[in-house]
């Protein structure tokens, strides 16, 4: 690797700090560091940050629990038939680092059991297994990891015999990474000879899956719909036949599971329309008037929050695959090597990660079926150890749902 070319690149982007410890490295380490720097796309971190534009935000119709109940059996049999015809695959988004939880290793390997072992991955697989039992067909389960947890995730599934799932239907793929920086946009070193890289957000899942050859693989099996879901919701219902049936029957390119807001000011991303397209508006982008605005039926007009469980039509995903997703700059805890060469593991967010988010894919679609689910039965995210959306609250919800811990 040509040192002077790399140095020039760093000078151009004002990132020379990356060579601070260069002289201390062995020849081999020097080569690795230069290659890593060569691969950095500094334009990405200098890119324009996504700022929610004003757009014309209006409420979206959501299929409520009552409406679902009226057609439940019809939706269920339609969904089951689609699953039996191998039209549905599930994609588990497990590439995140779970920095708020602060554990090492894959989040899905967290044991939520109290008297026995019950891992997050296990809860998810067991939920999918219920659908397999009902349909009598295995569904492809694709698991997105990142370089940070890929091997551990695969080993974990292997060590637990895939929690009883048919391993022939399980595939892993690795998402892409982006450099992590301090708050001034300076890329951190994670070791003296390694730059700090972190997963580039959950929005890259479709492209990474395509690059791994898995899209072609599942399409060849007949897959036309993909249910993506977050790793940390232990009550997550995956490829839920009623949801599948309702979405397919609706003629929309996506279905989004939503929960009714607990209060107008609840901090959830709200499903709505923006300039006529489905969109998720963050709670801080809803004006106070909108927060309390009422619909004709007397309920809140912006009343439904998303839970990161979407059913996408593959054809429509393919048409947006080449479009650039907006860049989100997120405040996170980023371990780094300080000026004196010490490794620092911060307790509080100290830096920026650069992410594309799946919610931006929603806005690229022509329509969306919002599909209401019961929060107490389907939404127990584990973001923190204690408090709101935590291991503690998820344990309580699991046991309220009759899961033995």
Residues near ligand UTP (CB under 6 A) are 93-101, 107, 144, 175, 199-202, 230-232, 308, 332, 383
What interhelical angle do 120-135 and 65-84 show, nearest 10?
A: 80
- Tokens describing residue 397: 């919800």
Nearest CB to ligand UTP, comparing residues 97 and 303:
97
Q: Apex CA 347: angle with CA 342 and CA 348, to 5°?
A: 115
Q: How far is the CB of 243 from ligand UTP (least distance, A)?
A: 18
Q: Which residue has the tokens 């839970």?
A: 307
Q: How far is the CB of 58 from ligand UTP (least distance, A)?
A: 26
In whole angstroms, give the CA distance from residue 131 to residue 202.
25
Q: How far is the CB of 352 from ligand UTP (least distance, A)?
A: 13
Q: Which residue has the tokens 């329309």?
A: 273
Nearest CB to ligand UTP, comparing residues 82 and 357:
357
Which residue has the CB atom at the shortest distance from ligand UTP? 96
List Cα–Cα distances, 294 to 65, 238, 268, 300, 302, in angstroms: 19, 32, 18, 4, 8
Nearest CB to ligand UTP, comparing residues 199 and 245:
199
Nearest CB to ligand UTP, comparing residues 10 and 230:
230
Q: How far is the CB of 200 from ligand UTP (least distance, A)?
A: 6
Q: How far is the CB of 364 from ligand UTP (least distance, A)?
A: 18
What interhelical angle do 241-250 and 120-135 show, nearest 10?
A: 70
Nearest CB to ligand UTP, comparing residues 34 and 110:
110
Nearest CB to ligand UTP, comparing residues 6 and 334:
334
Nearest CB to ligand UTP, comparing residues 144 and 187:
144
In whole angstroms, give the CA distance from residue 281 to residue 283.
6
Q: How far is the CB of 308 from ligand UTP (least distance, A)?
A: 6
Q: How would you write 100-167 as a 3-class SS string?
A: CCCCCCCHHHCECCCCCCCEHHHHHHHHHHHHHHHHCCCCCEEEEECCCCHHHHHHHHHHCHHHHCCH
What interhelical angle do 27-39 and 3-13 show, nearest 10?
A: 40
Nearest CB to ligand UTP, comparing residues 34 and 91:
91
In whole angstroms, give the CA distance from residue 46 to residue 186.
10
Q: How far is the CB of 357 from ligand UTP (least distance, A)?
A: 8
DSSP 348-398: S--EEEEE--THHHHHTSS--EEEE--HHHH--B--BSSSTTBHHHHHHHH
Q: How far is the CB of 402 from ligand UTP (least distance, A)?
A: 24
Q: What are phi and psi of 141, to 5 degrees?
A: -120, 115
Nearest CB to ligand UTP, comparing residues 190 and 232:
232
Q: Cβ atoms within 10 A of the Cβ of 162, count?
A: 17
In whole angstroms, give the CA distance from residue 84 to residue 157.
25
Q: How far is the CB of 385 from ligand UTP (least distance, A)?
A: 11
């Amino acid at each position: 690797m040509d040192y002077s070319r790399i140095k020039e690149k760093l000078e151009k982007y004002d990132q020379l700090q990356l060579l601070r410890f260069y002289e201390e490295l062995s020849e081999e380490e020097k080569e690795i560091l230069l290659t890593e720097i060569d691969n950095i796309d500094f334009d990405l971190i200098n890119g324009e940050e996504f700022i929610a534009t004003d757009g014309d935000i209006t409420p979206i119709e959501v299929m409520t629990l009552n409406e679902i109940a009226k057609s439940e059996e019809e939706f269920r049999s339609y969904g089951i038939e689609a699953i039996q015809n191998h039209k549905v695959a599930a994609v588990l988004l497990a590439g995140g680092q779970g920095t708020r939880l602060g554990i090492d290793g894959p989040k899905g390997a967290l044991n939520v059991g109290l008297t026995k072992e019950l891992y997050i991955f296990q809860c998810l697989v067991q939920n999918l297994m219920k659908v397999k039992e009902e349909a009598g067909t295995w569904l492809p389960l694709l698991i997105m990891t990142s370089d940070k947890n890929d091997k551990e995730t695969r080993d974990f599934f292997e060590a637990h015999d895939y929690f009883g799932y048919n391993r022939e239907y399980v595939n892993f793929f690795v998402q892409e990474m982006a450099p992590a920086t301090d708050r001034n946009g300076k890329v951190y070193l994670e070791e003296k000879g390694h730059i700090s890289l972190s997963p580039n957000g959950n929005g890259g899942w479709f492209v990474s899956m395509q690059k791994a050859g898995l899209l072609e693989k599942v399409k060849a099996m007949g897959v036309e719909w993909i249910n993506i879901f977050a790793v940390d919701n232990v009550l997550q219902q995956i490829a839920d036949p009623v949801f599948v049936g309702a979405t397919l029957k609706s003629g929309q390119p996506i279905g989004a599971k939503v929960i009714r807001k607990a209060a107008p000011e609840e901090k959830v991303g709200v499903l709505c329309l923006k300039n006529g397209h489905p969109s998720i508006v963050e709670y801080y982008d809803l004006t106070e008037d909108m927060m309390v605005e009422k619909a004709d039926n007397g309920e809140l007009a912006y009343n439904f929050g998303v839970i990161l469980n979407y059913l996408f039509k593959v054809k429509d995903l393919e048409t947006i695959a080449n479009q650039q997703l907006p860049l989100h700059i997120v405040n996170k805890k980023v371990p780094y090597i300080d000026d004196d060469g010490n490794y620092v593991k911060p307790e509080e967010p100290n830096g920026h990660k650069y992410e594309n988010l799946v919610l931006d894919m929603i806005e690229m679609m022509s329509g969306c079926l919002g599909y209401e689910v019961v929060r107490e039965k389907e939404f127990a995210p584990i973001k923190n150890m204690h408090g709101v959306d935590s291991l503690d609250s998820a344990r309580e919800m699991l046991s309220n749902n009759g899961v033995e811990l």
